[in-house]
Amino acid sequence: MTTPVGETTCRVCRGPLGEFLDLGRQPLSDRFLTEREIPGEFFYRLAVGACASCGMVQLMEEVPRELMFREDYPYHSSGSSVMREHFARTAHGFLESAYAGPDPFVVEIGSNDGVMLGAVRDAGVRHLGFEPSGKVAEVARRRGVRVRTDFFEEPTASEVRAAEGPADVIYAANTICHIPYLESIFRGVDALLAPGGRFVFEDPYWGDIVEKTSFDQIYDEHFYFFTASSVRAAAERFGFELVDVERLSVHGGELRYTIARRGAATPAAAVAETVERERARGLTTPDTLRRFAADVERVRDDLTALLRRLREEGRRVVAYGATAKSATVTNFCGLDSGLVEWVCDTTPQKQGLLTPGAHLPVVPPERFSTSYPDYALLFAWNHAEEIMAKEQEFRDAGGRWILYVPDVRVV
């Protein structure tokens, strides 16, 4: 089944949108399925464009949110120890901030399994998560986190403001880039945020994606690919101001954006410095975008050539990490079970199912350790250090990792 919703103008400023990369026919990135479900699988065209007016990089087609963030959404934020530590530091930073009032109220958009808000709860601080995916929201509730199973937008934010008062912090991690209707998000923030509060969100950074050719960061759930320049322009359009930016190493490279009501804070020097660096790099100029598209095609060709050669040599290749972003790689590169036997993953909800589109079997990690392959294609490359340390026995047994960011190589 294919039901695309195409765009020709920017979803933020309505400026002209110029397509620069087409990654082909793609499935829902987090929709793992059974053999019986294959005939009805949803597909869309995954293409990316940039706005000539405000510079916002975005998908050319929107996938309905109800298809992506459904009841059985399988991703859990607390699955990585690195991310657990990251969210704990984030929570403590909010509670120690100058803008947290005497009785602070912290709201998270896309709170997932409650890993960040759990630390807020442990501190005895008022909190609320918005999480539309019912099963993962229930995981958070079992941890004692308060969750509203709903999308964050102006009506729902206004209801919370009326019932619980203004929020000192509204936070989102890897969520705002998922939401095409940014104006509705900012209207919700306007309805809920305290006069001196902060709206803080972190998402994959377009500058890192370009630098690393990490094209697998492009998939259905990531509608926008932010820069400090495009976020500053969007914030100003909706009556806010970008007052700080911070580089983060998680998820392959992110920026954390801190937004305040206009005039409520003096922008940190990092804002102007980051915007100037982006201008000097030409992150959204036509030449840069053309080079990026060519680099993506080169990585695809190099990866498929390597996997075909290994198959001809009789080598066993499996994949590690049934990530959402791996759907882009497997489908754009045409990776089937003839090139990659299966994918191992620690998420029980994915095990025993098939990966989106490419239909590679997903197996538990025990399958990996009981019969080591010759090579493991690391889809979860953003957790490479953590994974390779855990799987030292694989390397000791002669196993080798295949990476494709920023280029294809064997380690």
**Residue 262's pLDDT is what?**
96
List strand residue ranges (DSSP E) for 297-399, in order: 317-320, 343-344, 362-363, 375-378
The answer on pLDDT for 3 being more than 50 is no
Q: Characterize the bridge pairing of strands 375-378 and 400-403.
A: parallel
Q: What is the pLDDT of residue 2?
A: 42
What are the C-alpha distances in Å from 50 to residues 25, 66, 143? 20, 25, 41
pLDDT tier at 85 (50, 70, 90 boundaries)? confident
Per-residue confidence (pLDDT) for residue 179, from 0 to 100:
92
* pLDDT, tens digit, 9 for 90 and up, residues 321-330: 999 999 999 9
pLDDT in tens, 225-241: 999 999 999 999 999 99
pLDDT > 90: percent of the chain: 81
More reliable by pLDDT, 66 or 38: 38
- Residues 6 or more apart whose Cβ sits within 8 Å of residue 203: 173, 174, 175, 176, 177, 222, 224, 226, 254, 255
Q: How far apart are CA 7 and CA 399, in angstroms?
A: 45
Q: Which whole number is the average pLDDT over 32-46?
A: 96
Pair of tokens at residue 363: 């197996």
Residue 251: what pLDDT?
Answer: 74
Q: Specify the pLDDT at position 83.
A: 79
Per-residue pLDDT, averaged over 91-116, amounts to 87
User: In 3-state terms, what secondary structure has residue 312?
Assistant: helix
Contact predicate 362/30, CB 8 Å? no
The residue among 184, 179, 262, 264 whose CA lies nearest residue 224 is 179
Which pLDDT score, from 0 to 100, does residue 136 have? 84
Given a cut of 70, whether residue 6 has pLDDT beyond it is no
Res 132: pLDDT: 87
77 band by pLDDT with thresholds 50, 70 and 90: low
Beta strand residue intervals within 97-192, DSSP E: 105-109, 126-130, 147-148, 167-173
Can you tell me the distance from the alpha carbon of 199 to that of 213, in angstroms, rounded to the nearest whole number? 29
Q: Three-state SS for 180?
A: coil
Q: What are 124-160's pLDDT values in tens digits?
A: 999 999 998 888 889 989 999 999 999 999 999 999 9
What integer pLDDT is reported at residue 75 of this predicted model? 56
Confidence class of residue 95 from pLDDT cuts 50, 70 and 90?
Answer: confident
Q: How confident is the model at residue 164 (pLDDT cuts 50, 70, 90)?
A: very high
- Average pLDDT for the chain: 93
Q: What is the pLDDT of residues 247-259, one digit of tens each?
A: 998 877 899 999 9
pLDDT of residue 5: 45
Q: What is the mean pLDDT of residues 260-274?
A: 97
Note the pLDDT of residue 70: 53
Phi, then psi, of 121 in degrees rounded to 5: -60, -45
Choose between 252 and 174: higher pLDDT.
174
